[in-house]
Amino acid sequence: MAIEIDISRVPLDKRTDLRFVQIFNKIQNKLLNDQSFEEVCIHEGSHLLYFIQNGVDVFRVEGPFISYDAQADAQADPFDFGVATVRAVNWGSEFKRLDPVRKIHVMAIVCVAGEIGTRVLLGRSRGKGSGFGDREKFDWICKKAGIHKPHWAPIWKAAQKHVRRDLQRPEIQSGIRLAADEVKRLLLESAR
């Protein structure tokens, strides 16, 4: 069963753009290759486990998608895309009661979990460094929260250390695999 790539946010005239075609083919190849699809599910399952551990009581799995930003077209990359993403829909009351600094640390842990979970469980990573925009997402969160840039890297490194230590525990690895199965189920269900 083929999973459809949502291109509804790409104008018709941009669907022939070479950059769009390359991204579309890249996503399609990841969806059709069992090993790549497993990496995607483990990566997103890692985020999901840490979302749940840190108080997300409602989440949504989205993807795959490609969108187009006309304002960014003057720049090198007007297309945003993802094979899959897990979004927090509702943070539970425990998270909401945390002080702002602790919230940033929790978000760093959630963001780094995908790359590190993939590396530990599969012995490889999906991409260089942060894993398909995870670091960029964290930087955006810090900027929005008013945290000055020199503080971002130490928070990120502490989160990496936390997740690496966590992933030495078999129950965390099992939890990620269960979360990855849920991501896979939801992606395949969306194809029906």
Domain that holds residue 142: 6-190
| Count of structural domains, the chain | 1
d(CA 158, CA 71): 35
Percent of the chain with pLDDT over 90: 61
Give per-residue pLDDT as tens, 157-172.
Answer: 999 999 999 999 999 9
Tens digit of pLDDT for each residue in 105-157? 999 999 999 999 999 999 875 554 435 588 888 888 888 878 777 788 899 99
In the chain the first and final C-alpha atoms are separated, in Å, by 8
Q: Is the dihedral of CA 2, 189, 54, 35 positive or negative?
A: negative
Q: For 180-192, what is each residue's pLDDT tens digit? A: 999 999 999 887 6
The pair of structure tokens assigned to 111 is: 């963001």
Looking at residues 10-24, what average pLDDT do you find?
Answer: 95
The reported pLDDT for the residue numbered 121 is: 95
Instruction: Report the C-alpha gap between 86 and 47 in whole angstroms.
Output: 7
The reply to whether 35 falls in a domain is: yes
How far is it, in rounded angstroms, from Cα 90 to Cα 6? 24
Whether residue 73 is predicted with pLDDT greater than 70 in this model: the reply is: no
pTM: 0.88
Residue 57 lies in a domain: yes
Q: How far is CA 185 from CA 61, 118, 173, in A?
A: 10, 18, 18
Nearest-5° angle of CA 60, CA 129, CA 50? 35
Residue 3 identity (one-letter amino acid): I
Query: Would you say residue 133 lies in a domain?
Result: yes
Residue 183 placed within a domain: yes
In a domain, 1, yes or no: no
Question: Does some domain include residue 10?
Answer: yes
Q: Which residues, at least 6 apart from 42, have a Cβ–Cβ distance to it below 8 Å?
A: 117, 118, 121, 122, 176, 177, 180
